[in-house]
Amino acid sequence: MATAETKKGAIAGFNFSEKECVWMRARVVATKYCDNAFDCTTCAFDKGMKKKMERESLDAGWNTKMFALASEEQRCRHALTGRAPRNKMCARNYECGDCPFDQMLDDMIQVDHTLFGPPQYLNAHGYLVPRDYYIHRGHGWARVEYGGRVRIGLDDFGNRLVGTVDRFRLPSLGTRFKLSEESFILSREGQEAGVKAPLSGVVTAVNQKLLDYPACAHDDPYSAGWVMLLDPIELKGDLKELYFGVDSVKFVESEAERLLSMITDDPQRAAALGGEPLPDIYGSFKEIGWNKLVKSFI
């Protein structure tokens, strides 16, 4: 499933501006794309390269390597990290300390200093689908972060489906989940829904704000409404089971159509233009029933 926009076996991380391995960025190797969520600590390639550099007593800094490149390749260091346009050239012999462009960028860094920078959204029949997030068929989302950790939550469709939740039950720190196992529980008016884990892993952080403010998840499902952080067990394998990018959009669109078919007799003919989905679908169509909605979608 997770094929669109990602190379086979690659992991799309959140807020990683480029996919190039750090060794490729430093031009030590010609072509190498990160396939480990920039978690160099567990990367076999990184370990191998470090050993090789030690063995060959190579210790050139990145700027020394830059001077060895042809002049047309002497790009600004920020072009390499994605903070400046790719064709931005260095005009100051990599003396960044005196470069006004460098200083301007450094002054702007606070704009996206946290991992919680707002995601970019795609639109699936009015439901928000974030870029760089993976979506499980049970509407859990997974976002690969710094250090290879994975943040988990419930997507916009799922939140609108269950509407105003009264209570969250979160797993304990250290709990281990398998892919698609029930991971956290939300309840409304005494009825419960268990959300399936988008991937297998060990819980290493939970968002206790949801215990005091359960509406957080509904109001901001992909940022403040995060539920837990997982230390993944089989990251690469599990991500292949999830939707990503355009596939996520197609999946949520198909779910929206399936939902509409529960409400109206002839959904195929209802080609809507524009509009926003209701914030509380269960509350608006209680005749469908909680169990049916939850079983069908979550």
Partner 1 sequence: MKKKEPPRTVHRPPSGYISVVPLGHIKEDVLRVVADSIQGVLRLPVDVTPEVGLPESAFMSARNQYNVLDLIKFLESNHAGPSLKVLGVTAKDIANPILTYVFGTAFMDGKAAVVSTARLQLSVNGELVSREQFLERVVKAAIHEIGHTFNIPHCHKDHCVMRASNSLTELDEKMSYLCDYCELFLAEAVGDALRTRSAQTRQAESG
Residues near partner 1 (CB under 8 A)? 40-42, 95-98, 102-103, 106-107, 109-110, 113-116, 145-147, 149, 151, 172-174, 176, 178, 200, 202, 204-209, 211-212, 226, 228-229, 231, 233-234
Smallest distance from partner 1 to CB 68, Å: 21
Nearer to partner 1, 211 or 263 (CB): 211
Nearer to partner 1, 147 or 289 (CB): 147
Pairing of strands 167-169, 182-188: antiparallel
Nearer to partner 1, 24 or 288 (CB): 24
Measured CA to CA, the distance from residue 2 to residue 269 in angstroms comes to 30
Nearer to partner 1, 235 or 242 (CB): 235
Smallest distance from partner 1 to CB 176, Å: 8
Nearer to partner 1, 32 or 250 (CB): 32
Nearer to partner 1, 71 or 172 (CB): 172
Smallest distance from partner 1 to CB 261, Å: 37
Measured CA to CA, the distance from residue 219 to residue 160 in angstroms comes to 10
Smallest distance from partner 1 to CB 143, Å: 11
Smallest distance from partner 1 to CB 171, Å: 9
Are residues 41 and 147 in contact, defined by beta-carbon separation less than 8 angstroms? Answer: yes
Pairing of strands 228-232, 191-196: unpaired
Smallest distance from partner 1 to CB 204, Å: 4
Burial 224-252 (b: 16+ CB within 10 A, else e): bbbbbbbbbeebeebbbbbbbbebbbebb
Establish how many alpha carbons lie within 13 A of residue 241's alpha carbon, considering only the half-sphere containing its beta carbon: 18
Nearer to partner 1, 153 or 277 (CB): 153
Smallest distance from partner 1 to CB 209, Å: 4
Which CB contacts under 8 angstroms, 24+ apart, belong to 211-220?
211/167, 211/168, 211/170, 214/165, 214/166, 214/167, 214/168, 214/186, 215/164, 215/165, 217/153, 217/154, 217/159, 217/165, 217/168, 217/186, 218/159, 218/160, 218/163, 218/164, 218/165, 218/279
